[in-house]
Structures are given as structure tokens and as C-alpha cells.
Structure 1
Amino acid sequence: MNPGRDRVVAARSTGSFQILWSLWERTLLRGTSGGLALVAAWFVTPADLGHYSVAIAFLTLGMAVTDISLRQLGVIVPKEDLPGIAAIARRIALATVPLNLLATGTLLASGAEWDELAKLLPLYLVPFMSARGSASVAQLQRNDDFRTVARIQGIAATISLLGCLPLLLALGDILALSLQFLATEAIAAHLFRRKCRVSPQPKYNMLKRLSTVAVPNVAAWVQSQSERIAIVLVTDASTVGAFGFAAAIGRLGNDVVTAGIVNYFRPILARHTHEPNQWRRVSMALIYRVAAGSSIASALIIAGNFLLLGPALDPAWGPAVALIPAAAASVGLSSMGWVATTLLVVKGEARRVWRLQAVGIALVVPVAFSSVWGVPGLAVALVGRELVMVPVRVLSLRKLLTQRELLTAWVAYLPLVALACLAAYAGTTTS
């Protein structure tokens, strides 16, 4: 008998299960929305999905400021400050109202009709619903209770899917997608608050502390989502629909893996910020797992696209199907951005994230204008941007990790780099 060794083994076993629960939580969210998007492809046109993609792009910006930032801050701040997050959640959600107006103007400029806009209105309410449960989710994650988080997300996703899938089959339009998104967030927020209610209580300087997390999230949005808005203004709704569909499928597995692993490691990193050696070991464990998971997810998505999705969809979706390999590989490479941002923010280096994001933001314009050349242009631009960004992201950690660890992090992403180059080449062969 070795009690010390038994405790270590038990801790590792528990940690493995917590990662699985965290991954399952993201699978439920991405799986239901991605599954509905696949079904919708049989009923709607690329232009319809293009308008939905633009609305989703503005929604994710709102979520970056509200729900995502509130959850991240809730894991980092001292436990006694959680009531302060609950206190500002509703006020922060009001910041999405101007975004809703901007989304409406952009959609009208892209040729959307008022009846189409009405079907997207449920998306405008999502940030208000999700922000209500942000502090409760942060508390559960601080307690490493990812099983409860996954269970609640599973209940919310199942109820929304059972309600909205028949609606999609009956109506055959994007209203069902919008309602499913809203229903999932509303049900989940209600259940989170019932399970772990955090009473609102104003705390000093909470908005300023939130900004240190929100600013990098907004910069990440500009880099990863804003090109949809630019594409619809440069070309048309059908092109952004093909791009949005390819991006949605490309993110289906990668976002599940990356977000699930990062969500699990974030509170562990926060607990070891004053233990340099242990913090670096945890950081490298995070990098290894994200790189490996993203490589596997990208490969599986590309294989499924060629074997299943391509033959099944209408020829009108041909450009979207051709773009999926490059989208999947580029999303996989972008997972290093999640890792770098998380490490910098947890370590109190959020200001340095701006330098990291500035390069990616500068590359949004070339990606948007590459859509003029169709799938070949977009495939090369998507992959090319991420090939530039991976070493930039790795080097942004040079003050946090040793040179050997930085080199190891770069090597961990080499399989994805090779896969991305092949995907870009495949995209250029599309006529």
C-alpha cells in the first residue's frame, strides 16, 4: 500500500473524467446546433444560411462581451467576488442592443428582406438569457463540477432539439435554428441558477476587471468571425452562406475539443499562478492535449466530408463542401490562439494579447477579399492566415515558457500544419 501514490492515481483518474465531462458539454452544444445546420441544408438555400451566418457573427460578438467573458472572469477572480459578476451580468447584456441594430443594418444592406429578419429576431435575445447563468456556471467550474455543467447542457440541448427539429421539418426555414439557439441558452441559464444560485452583490471595479477579459475576446472575434460580415458586403449572401456552412462544420469538432479542454485547465492554471514550475507543466499539458485533439478532430471532419457529406448534399452546396477541409484545418490551427490567450490572461498578461491579436486582425481583410476568387481563394487565405498565426502565438508565450517548451509547442502543431497545407491544395483544385 502506498497512500501517496494512490492519491495521485485517484487525482489523475478524476481529472480525466472531468476533461471528458467538459468535452461532452461542448459536444452537446455544438452537436445540436451543428446537426440542425446540416438538416437545414436540405431545406434552405446558401443565401438563407448566409443571412443566418451574419446574424450569428454579430451574436458571437455579443457573447464574447457578455457570457464568455463573465464565465472566464468568474474562474479567475477570488471566490468572494462572484456575486459582483452576477450583479453586472444584466447591464453587460444591454451592450448587445447596438450590435443588434448594426446586425439589422448589415443584413438589409446584403439584400435580406424584413420577413427574413423576423426569423432571426430570437438570436437577439440570446445574450440576455445566457448572461443570467454566467456566474452560476463559473461557480460550478471552480468546483470542478463539469459533470453537472454537462448534464444541464444536455437537458437544455435535448429539450430545444425535440422542440425545434419538428419545426424545421415542418417550416423548412431558419426560424427553427434561431429558436433552438435561444431555447438552449434560456433553459440552461434557468437550470444553472436553480442548481447553483449566486446572489447579485455589487463589487468594486468589476467592470474594469471584466474589460481585461472582454477586450482579448473581442479581438479574437474580429480575427475569427468578422470576415463573414466583410464577405457578405464584398460578394453576396450565397458566398457567405457557403463560407458559414463550411466554417460551422469545420468548427463542429474542433471547438468541442478546444473549448472543453481549455475550460477544464483554466481553473487549474489559476490555482498555480504563483508556482512557476507547476504552472509551466500544466501549460504544456494543455498545449499537448489541444494540439492532439485538434489534429484528430480536423482529420475526422475532413474524412467525413469526403465520404458522407459531399455525396449527400445538393450540388448547390458544392462550394461549401469543397471549402470544408480548409476550414476544418484552419480552425484546428487556430486552437493555439485559444491556448495562448488563456495562458496570458490567467497569468495577468492580458495587455500582451493585443499584440498577438493585432496580426490576426490585420489578416481579416485579405481573407475577406479572397472570396472574390471563390473557393480556391478562400481555401488558400484561410490556411495561409493560420500558418502565419501559429508561430506568432507560440512566440507570444516566450516570457512564460522556456525556449525548449516553445519549440515543443511548435512541434506539437506540425501534424496540423501538414494537414492544412494538403487541405489548401485540395481547395485550389476546385473549379
Structure 2
Amino acid sequence: MQIHVVEQGDSLYSIANTYGSTYQAINEANELDNPNQLVVGQSVVIPIVGEFYFVQTGDSLYEIAQRFGIGYQRLAEVNNIDPNAPLYIGTRLYIPEQAGPTIESNAYIEPIGETVSETLINAAEKNAPFLTYLAPFNYRVNRDGSLIAPPLDNFATIAAENNTALMLVVTNLEEGEFSAELGSLIVTDESVQNTLLDEIIQTAQSVGFGDVHFDLEFLPPADKNAYNSFLRKAKSRLSDAGLLMSTALAPKTSAEQEGEWYEAHDYAAHGEIADFVVLMTYEWGYSGGPPLAVSPLDSVRDVVEYALTEMPANKIMLGQNLYGYDWTLPFEPGGEYAKALSPQQAIILARDNNVAIEFDQQSQAPFFFYTDKEGNRHEVWFEDARSIQAKFDLIKELNLRGISYWKLGLAFPQNWLLLEDNFTIRKRV
């Protein structure tokens, strides 16, 4: 699989010719709404086996081979060149496909209201083949410990048809917000816990869930040990019932990190107790904050490297957003919220406003500016093939368990192409 960044003068035909592909194959793979109007800076995935590399200044065959995890003599043989001869800038080298590691993948899916939209049903059907877990968000907890189920429609059938396990997500959401008071009740009141665990097990067995996932956020810092104790109790009950248990963790970079989102989340304890954890490594750029990459690679790496000091890599699922944001400038705290948009929508927005897409090397994320019809300046950060490939490279470098997406429903076809190209997805059914 090849990632090509569109340059001035490129057409889909010329790109296809460069890589030995076809106009139709590239168009279908990227689900382009207007293949004859590409955007400068837009990343396009080329659906070929292996990839091509064009020699740059300072390159050596040995360094290129190391970069792609292949022996330099094998690389020379594949390209029918002398391994000891100098390389010329611009020479096209074919990099054969390498077998990727096996990982797990999860995606949350969030029905809004009392029914599941056709968009979400289609997203589940389309992407379940690439998932270990499908996680309907969310089962809310009443104050007596009983559960309020989300609409599930045919998620169980979709999961079963694709050998995908269902994840039962339990939260302390109340009236649309994470409730510290409800969360405290869950982790401190034994009667509430017993009712809750009884209902979780009954629900998991009747619906067919394979994992129970606790996403308890904004717990009072004083409840850290109580949360740990609750998880130990839950793990014992769930294991006896043949269920996995996982948790969601706020993106910390130290055990002493302060803040209401962080302090009750004990990385070392969750790493010891849970079968795996999901690091919520996104929302640095968020709807109510200033324009930033949603999941900048440098910040994500800092969180993962801290997590690795507290738990083994094979328990860590890297959180990843499938969306971006469009901010109206100037940003003012408490002012207008940024609008969420899919990677596909971001590209259309750049094209319609005749602006090029830029790429920030530090955060490994694409962005652009535009001015709307009312004269308002905007800043957009989103995800593309390059940014998601950077996260896949991090997973491989640090041997993580896998990746967890928030959330299905916004189109990002390049992600799924590259996920399949980089990894073998473990199935638990």
C-alpha cells in the first residue's frame, strides 16, 4: 500500500501511472467524491501490493532497507540493481510487502436517541471485518446499580457475522455528562456494586458480549483506591462468568498528574487488574478549546511511554480519533464551539475553498486555513493517511496490543485500508 501526497499538476491518471495502478482502483479505494479535482496536500492511498520509494538526497540502499525492515541485498535483488552501486536521486525502488504483526482493534459506536441511525448500521456492517471488538456506547448506571441499555438494533448480528466480539461499555454518564457523584457511588457502595455486576453479567450473557469495559470518568481523586478495589471485585466476578474486563484511561504522563480527569485513574493498578486498557489519546484539540491536532503524535507518544512504565505493552490499546474539527477564528474561550467533521469532509472543504492542505511534522497531522463567505477565518485539523500511518508505526515500534477508535460514523476509508495493510486483526469469536 502506497501513500501519495498530491502536488500541483497531479491528476488521478498521472498518480496511477506513477505507481502502476489505475484511475478506477485509486478512486474506489479512497471513495473520492470528485476524482477529477484533487487538493494540493491531500493524501491518497494507492492500493498496490508493497510500495514504491523514490531515492532522496543522502539515501543509501542500506538505510532505505533498514527503514522498511528488509535486507539491503534482498532490496537490491527485487529491484535488479547492484547493491554496491551508487543510487541516483529520484530512482524508484519497489519495496515488497512485509508481513505485519497481529493486533486487536476496537471501535466505539454511539447511537444518539432511542434508535440506531442507518449511517451507524452501515458503518458497523462495513467496518466490523476489521475489528476485534465492537463497542456500543453506552450502558448508563442508575443510582441503584441497574443498567440503562443503549439501542442496539442488529449490532449483535453484525458482530457475529464478522467474528467480532461485542464490548459492553459501562459509564457514569448522567444527564449527558460524566457524574463524579454517580461514579463515587458506583465504586464505594457495595449494594450498588452487587446489583450492577449482577446486571452486567446477565446482560452480557443474554446479548452476547465478550468484554466488559468500564469508562468511569471525572471520579473524585479520593476515590482512586475505591475504584481499584471495585475493579478487583468486578474482575473476579467477570472472570468467573467467562468475560474479559477492560477499562478506559485518561491520557496521563505521570502518576502525580493533577486534574479531575486524571487523579482517580491509577495506571499501575488498571494494568495489573484489567485484561487490557484503552488510552484515550485524543482531544488535545477539542471542540471547546483552541485549534490543535486532535491526537498529536508527540503528545500521544508521551502518554504511551509513561503507560509502559506502569504496565506491559500487550495490555495497551492506543486510542485514536476518526474525525477532526473546524474552528472559527479568533478562538475565544467560552465562545463558539468547533464543528466536528470527517476526513472526507475536510478534504471537500479545502477543495471548495481552493486552499492547499498543509502537514505539521511535529504533530504528524494535516491542517489548513480558509475564509468563509461571511469573511470569517477558519482553522481545520483532521486525520489523513499520513497521520494514521504514524500511529500504526508507533503501535509497531512499541509492540502495543492494538488500537481503539472513537468513533464509527464519520467516513475515513483510508484508515481501514491501511489498518488491513499494516496488521493482521485478531478475532476473539
- TM-score normalised by L of structure 1: 0.28
Higher helix fraction (1 or 2): 1
Return the index of the structure with the highest Cα Rg: 2
- More relative contact order, 1 or 2 (CA 8 Å, 6+ apart): 1
Higher strand fraction (1 or 2): 2
- TM-score normalised by L of structure 2: 0.28
